[in-house]
Structure 1
């Protein structure tokens, strides 16, 4: 195995799992972290750490002992997420980790419309105060989320107005993250990369592309804030979670998620996937929308 040890959090998830697989593929020493080690993937040369919830500082410190770099995927949304992130960062510093690459969110700011993007800004702010090299990867909405959030009735609903979104593929995020992690120079220190798709499109245009792929009419149904809360009430989610869902669309309407960056091609050497390309390569993502027999 070559190079310093890289610890990958969220290794059972869509981003962390892809990054861990890429690192293992090139022979880099990898330690996989997760709340439930039984869910972690089996990868050549990778080892799994004992359970390490972000909010358990001592468990995180033990899991990160000896690691040089930490790939920190954000925790599941919760009212305590910022505290959990800070605990994980402080544990990494205490364990001697020299570098943290953090998966943030596009437009992270203390006053971001999308409430969860505020959590990311506060995490970034803490990382800037501690003695550790750091890089921020601010990805936007996932391309996979567009078909996933379209109902079986063929409606994509939300208060997104006519705003545009530069959604990005998980694969492109993983490729970009791996490129940063594998570059041990200091060129990425203090950098913030916006990881986006190659274009910004409206939700109505996304519905049109889904229509082309599925062979049925998919429509975007704009909602008011009140309609958005009402249409999501049946999920029985807590208020803070529903607020996150609704404000993610309102951030689109506000123009906060329309930025298009060249970071993916610059870091990876290949173009970022468009929505049309993503759907063509991932037919399972919209299988629930296909016409019945």
Structure 2
């Protein structure tokens, strides 16, 4: 019997990569998107339009006939868990038999990174449904580092000397595809996988590597927690979002994200990319840094 995969976030950086990999394997899939015009044109893929995870009727219609759902976590929002719950419940109602959920490294009810708590709550709801499930808990992406650099060439935040084993989108997509296709040796079959890069680096080390490739002076300036909140007041962002921004740094400072896992290599057969390797392979991701003052 042919497995039909439902893929959310197919217009995004992770869901799109997973959809491409499933198509390359000849899989039949349904891409759940808000805007069908932006959906990738892939062999064996149908496109289903949904307004969002809390569009219960749309989700049920889109997931009818789907066997395995790849659920990419939604955008950060005050009701993010409720949105995830709605998507999971819709999947269960129409008979989806397996959910592979994109969670976060160190997901826990008391995670330092506040959005990690959302992932924990979502995991617990999925487990409570009794549906077969697997959680891929990725670390922060390599792409985070160049995006944190301000127009003055400075990364500011309360990460201290902490380290983070950041990971490439491609490595997470490769690992998630292996999980979806059940290409995992029995000895490595687990209910959850921590997906990280092969080394943990500090903010200062990341800044130095960004300086090396861009030819510009990129530095990391540590902030206190109080300074971090004060420096972000001008963005006009809601409190939950600012909390997420600040605690992304404090989670690094606390050592929560220093974990280095071998799961990418175990699942895919290839080593995860280092940050330096990713920089070399993805110059467009940090190209704007070339325009910063020397």
Q: Could you say whether these structures have the same fold, taking a TM-score greater than 0.5 normalized by the shorter chain as the test?
A: yes
Conserved in 1, the CA contact under 8 Å of 2:151 and 2:292? no
What SS does the corresponding residue of 1:244 show, helix, strand or coil?
helix
1:184 Cα offset (Å): 7.0
Output the CA distance in 2 between the equivalents of 1:142 and 1:65.
32
Give the number of equivalent residue pairs.
292
Match in the other structure for 1:164: 163
Output the CA distance in 2 between the equivalents of 1:231 and 1:17.
34
Q: How does 1:51-66 map to 2 (within 5 A)?
A: 51-66=50-65
Change (3 A) 1:149 1:41: same
Q: How does 1:228-267 map to 2 (within 5 A)?
A: 228-267=228-267
Match in the other structure for 2:27: 28
1:131 Cα offset (Å): 2.2
1:291 Cα offset (Å): 4.8
What SS does the corresponding residue of 2:14 show, helix, strand or coil?
helix
Q: Is 2:116 the counterpart of 1:98?
A: no
Output the CA distance in 2 between the equivalents of 1:24 and 1:264.
21
Conserved in 2, the CA contact under 8 Å of 1:52 and 1:63? no
What SS does the corresponding residue of 2:70 show, helix, strand or coil?
strand
Q: How does 1:180-195 map to 2 (within 5 A)?
A: 180-183=179-182, 187=186, 191-195=191-195
Output the CA distance in 2 between the equivalents of 1:113 and 1:233.
21
What SS does the corresponding residue of 1:14 show, helix, strand or coil?
coil
Match in the other structure for 1:287: 287
Output the CA distance in 1 between the equivalents of 2:104 and 2:37.
28
Q: Is 2:253 the counterpart of 1:268?
A: no
1:36 Cα offset (Å): 2.5
Output the CA distance in 2 between the equivalents of 1:195 and 1:63.
29
Deviations 1:152-208 (Å, cap 9, x if unpaired)?
211111110111000000000000000111117895776110000000011011111
1:100 Cα offset (Å): 0.4
Output the CA distance in 2 between the equivalents of 1:69 and 1:52.
20
1:234 Cα offset (Å): 2.4
Q: Is 2:89 the counterpart of 1:82?
A: no
The TM-score with structure 1 as length reference comes to 0.96
Misfit runs of 4+, over 2 Å? 35-39, 184-190
Output the CA distance in 1 between the equivalents of 2:223 and 2:17.
34
What SS does the corresponding residue of 2:43 show, helix, strand or coil?
coil
Choose 266-275 or 184-193, whichever is displaced more.
184-193
Structure 1, unaligned stretches of length 5 or more? none
Cα RMSD for the two superposed structures: 1.7
Structure 2, unaligned stretches of length 5 or more? none
Output the CA distance in 2 between the equivalents of 1:213 and 1:254.
29
What SS does the corresponding residue of 2:33 show, helix, strand or coil?
coil
Match in the other structure for 2:119: 120
The TM-score with structure 2 as length reference comes to 0.95
1:96 Cα offset (Å): 0.5
Conserved in 1, the CA contact under 8 Å of 2:171 and 2:273? yes
Conserved in 2, the CA contact under 8 Å of 1:135 and 1:189? no
